[in-house]
Structure 1
Amino acid sequence: MRAHEAGALHAEGYGGPPLYLPYPDDVNALLEQLWPASVIRGRSGALEVAGVDVHAIAREFGTPAYVLDEDDFRARARAFRDDFAAPFHEVCGGADVYYAGKAFLCTEVARWVAEEGLSLDVSTGGELAVAQRAGFPAARIAMHGNNKTVAEIEQALTYGVGRIVVDSLTEIERIDTVARRLGVVAPVMIRVTVGVEAHTHEFIATAHEDQKFGLSLATGAAAEAARRVVARPGSMRLVGLHSHIGSQIFDTGGFEISARRLIALHADIVREHGIEMPHIDLGGGFGIAYTSQHTPLDPARLGRLMADIVEREGKAIGVGDGSGLPRVSIEPGRAIVGPSTFTLYEVGTVKPVVVGDRMTRTYVSVDGGMSDNIRAALYEADYSCTLAGRTSGAEPMLARVVGRHCESGDIVVLDEYLPADLAPGDLIAVPGTGAYCRSLSSQYNHTPRPPVVAVRGGRARAIVRRETIDDLLALDVG
């Protein structure tokens, strides 16, 4: 940490580039791992995605805009489906992949997920409504949420979702009441807080004890939840256990501990109650590359490593013979949609600012910001960006890309090298914005939210249209 008794501006090294960001040999070069598969620089120097020039996207749909490569999304979905199915087949009969809709969900994306043979994880009645509108098969839907309302539980049970993930003892009573009223048996999983400190930002670590999700393994709350569910055979059926250790994770160490504890609890519950409990869900949280500092595992390696973990931990407690282990589920969201999307902005101002007596920082303001990507402010998330509308022969300059909102923390990209001739009207693109950008977007400062533009085979179309001022005013009853 850079510190100085007179303040940060006086600290040695303040304002320089982060260690992961070297001075570029070519400021126009693209880091392949950050971008959708089809993105290239065309002959004009402008970025193209699936054969469509970014200038054409800007003209037709305006900026800012989320640009989603449909084939890239589908390919990543298939990779998780296939690369987990094969190694888990001999271990526990296969693996089910639930796309985590909270990363990004709309009707069209729900249809893609269904067509590629994945299941779907939703966490609110609104996300479930999107799935219903898309005609998503109910049996392949998991309903999450730490405070599901009676209306949401009724919505899920009426539609016939395949599993409801119980997050509290209170919720068991709530599901019991609704299921009895509807005359159905609710298939439930218990979300277990397994006590794992995932190596990620504290706001997105979700399996340690001091947070809102799940029922504690250590205190016996998870085992008590199982007893209460099993005691209500007329309204609930316990189908499995669930855990989720966090997000933006780059190794499998946390999953190893989580699997060990979840499999052991699963075996204990089966023995105590003499029931069949066919599933465990190890959650998602697989990381992606936002900058050159990130080194994610590909689905094939993830699948092999996690299958080895489940097999090894099963054998350690005597259930790893291929018949005693429950079928495994995972929940990738970010890892599918995150790299499939970039955000296209137009530069509004380029402002050199003298910082103390040591340096000049160049602030590049774009026509979006924290309303379309809150992650930098919320999670201190790092992003990369590039000049998208042309190439440049100018020297690289260290820049900070900021938004147009009335907040000093409205930062899109904290540090990036951009060409020194960057000017108002230029297009820049920020990769890796498919997950938790549109989903977490807001109308701060009464700013309409951008469209989501899907591109495939040389054609671009809006799958979520741009909000308008009329949309904003329509809710204002004053």
Structure 2
Amino acid sequence: MHLYGTSGVNERGHLEIGGVDTIELIEQFGTPLYVYDVELIRERARGFKRTFEELGIPAQVAYASKAFSSIAMIQLADQEGLSLDVVSAGELYTAIKADFPTERIHFHGNNKSEEELHMALDHKIGCIVVDNFSELVLLEEICTNREQKVKILLRVTPGIEAHTHDYILTGQEDSKFGFDLINGQAEDALRQALQSEWLEVLGLHCHIGSQIFQTTGFLLAARKIIGKLDSWHGSIGYQPKVLNLGGGFGIRYTQEDDPLPASQYVEEIVREVQNLVADTDLQMPEIWIEPGRSLVGDAGVTLYKVGSEKQVPNVRKYIAVDGGMSDNIRPALYEAKYDAILANRPLDPVEETVSIAGKCCESGDMLIWDLPLPKAGRGDVLAVFCTGAYGYSMSNNYNRIPRPAVVFVENGEARLVIKRETFEDLISLDLALQEAAVTNKE
């Protein structure tokens, strides 16, 4: 049994997180329930920041809020002095409602609407990461009409394929994201942006993928980008202020995963950039990174109640829980793997191997295959670890299942930070047939 952060087994023999008994949590808040270990999130954030400080490198550590966005989470990021990466008007709106300093917000996305760009400019956010030529033209037009300057990064694809799932590869040449560094698109975009009196090009951004366990891809990306920047410095005199190497740092979901410490990712990236810059006429840029999963992933645990079971003779035993792909779609989407224990009996000996099924009406709604557990039955509580990233943020109402509540635990206290959806919430936007507006065709 591998426990994370402040998790442990208390005197009642229950799983405890942040000094709070998980069984007491479900008695108060119900199941399924997302539980976040706040102390672990703080520890992760401080680890990234501390490493940059010890290396003496100006930096921004921006929380990639797509991993998990809520008002309380954004406020926690602010408390820890992080910047913020948003990818939609909804994430930006959440940050604004959380009173997050807008000058520390970076706006990403491959298809920002005109309304989203106006919203970003209205709130004077710190940086817009421009993803393609059509956005570059649109942003220039909007800024010209508004007579408003904005700082930008140009997102580039350096042609790096990180060792990760195909769906979460983003740095290779054939990607929907960014200007290609190899075929000349990135240079064309830079020249175009530098001609604008309203766009201040801080530097370049890249993101090579997610759940990455090695530094090799980051270092190779840095080499390719610094090489191009050195060339551009000679040809057009461009000196970048910022190099953003994205995020994607892996975490340990199961025993098969072997991630590096956050400090090692940062140290190796910084040393490589320093060495590369030393061989050029470039000045050392400020380094930005964008951890999301590595800040909140292993800080999250989802609690479920066990319900029905099914034995397939000589094949497997299924145990169903009261959630599934509606609160964690990653196993169905990415074949993601998780580990879990019985929160009410974590020290009981393993007696059988079972597969954990969700309750959605889909054969693919399987959370965990072949999980060793004590003999479990109706009413037991299953704790699935490392669900803090892309659990709630990708949750849905398939089969009209309400989304779970979210609780933060720290120092023996529990705070409800997102209420559980109700059935009334589910139908709150519905219109009865007689109420629906009718449009008559001419």
Counterpart of 2:42, as a letter, is R
Select which of 58, 74, 78 maps to 1:114.
78
Distance in 2 (alpha carbons) for counterparts of 1:304 and 1:277? 21
- The residue correspondences of 1:364-379 to structure 2 (distance < 5 A) are 364-379=319-334
Counterpart of 1:438, as a letter, is Y
The structure 1 segments of at least 4 consecutive aligned residues displaced by more than 6 Å after TM superposition are: none
Q: Are residues 1:360 and 2:323 paired?
A: no
**Residue in 2 that maps onto 1:232:** 196
Q: Are residues 1:285 and 2:248 paired?
A: yes
- 1:59-92 deviation digits (Å, cap 9, x = unpaired): 11100010001111111111111123322x2xxx
Distance in 2 (alpha carbons) for counterparts of 1:210 and 1:52? 47
Select which of 175, 188, 212 maps to 1:211.
175
Q: Are residues 1:49 and 2:4 paired?
A: no
Q: Are residues 1:411 and 2:366 paired?
A: yes
Counterpart of 1:263, as a letter, is I
Give how far 1:391 is off.
4.1
TM-score between both structures, scaled by the size of structure 2 = 0.95
Larger CA deviation: 369-378 vs 304-313: 304-313
Counterpart of 1:313, as a letter, is L
Counterpart of 1:311, as a letter, is Q
Give how far 1:316 is off.
4.1
Give how far 1:118 is off.
0.9
TM-score between both structures, scaled by the size of structure 1 = 0.88
**Residue in 1 that maps onto 2:218:** 255
Select which of 425, 428, 438 maps to 1:471.
425
- 1:408-445 deviation digits (Å, cap 9, x = unpaired): 100111221011x2110000100100001111111000
**Residue in 2 that maps onto 1:425:** 379
- The residue correspondences of 1:130-209 to structure 2 (distance < 5 A) are 130-209=94-173
Partner secondary structure for residue 67 of structure 2 = coil
Distance in 1 (alpha carbons) for counterparts of 2:355 and 2:103? 47
Distance in 1 (alpha carbons) for counterparts of 2:312 and 2:302? 26
**Residue in 2 that maps onto 1:400:** 355
Distance in 1 (alpha carbons) for counterparts of 2:238 and 2:347? 66
Distance in 2 (alpha carbons) for counterparts of 1:138 and 1:96? 14
**Residue in 2 that maps onto 1:440:** 394
8 Å CA contact 1:169–1:225 kept in 2: the answer is yes
Structure 2: gaps spanning 5 or more residues: 433-442
Partner secondary structure for residue 377 of structure 1 = helix
**Residue in 2 that maps onto 1:347:** 306
Distance in 2 (alpha carbons) for counterparts of 1:392 and 1:326? 51
Distance in 1 (alpha carbons) for counterparts of 2:234 and 2:409? 52
Select which of 255, 258, 266 maps to 2:229.
266
Give how far 1:268 is off.
3.0
Structure 1: gaps spanning 5 or more residues: 1-29
Give how far 1:313 is off.
2.3
Give how far 1:392 is off.
5.8
- 1:178-227 deviation digits (Å, cap 9, x = unpaired): 11222211211100010001000010010111120111011111111101
Partner secondary structure for residue 325 of structure 1 = coil
Larger CA deviation: 93-102 vs 443-452: 93-102
Give how far 1:362 is off.
1.2
**Residue in 2 that maps onto 1:4:** none
- 1:312-333 deviation digits (Å, cap 9, x = unpaired): 22234454xxxx1211110000
**Residue in 1 that maps onto 2:2:** 31
Counterpart of 2:50, as a letter, is D
Counterpart of 1:79, as a letter, is G
Distance in 1 (alpha carbons) for counterparts of 2:348 and 2:242? 56
8 Å CA contact 2:230–2:281 kept in 1: the answer is no
Larger CA deviation: 393-402 vs 75-84: 393-402
Larger CA deviation: 266-275 vs 144-153: 266-275
Partner secondary structure for residue 102 of structure 1 = helix
8 Å CA contact 1:249–1:285 kept in 2: the answer is yes
**What's the Cα RMSD here?**
1.3
Q: Are residues 1:390 and 2:354 paired?
A: no
8 Å CA contact 2:351–2:373 kept in 1: the answer is yes
Distance in 2 (alpha carbons) for counterparts of 1:181 and 1:451? 44
Distance in 2 (alpha carbons) for counterparts of 1:68 and 1:426? 21
Q: 1:395 to 1:77 in 2, by over 3 A?
A: closer
Distance in 1 (alpha carbons) for counterparts of 2:92 and 2:27? 34
Distance in 1 (alpha carbons) for counterparts of 2:349 and 2:391? 31
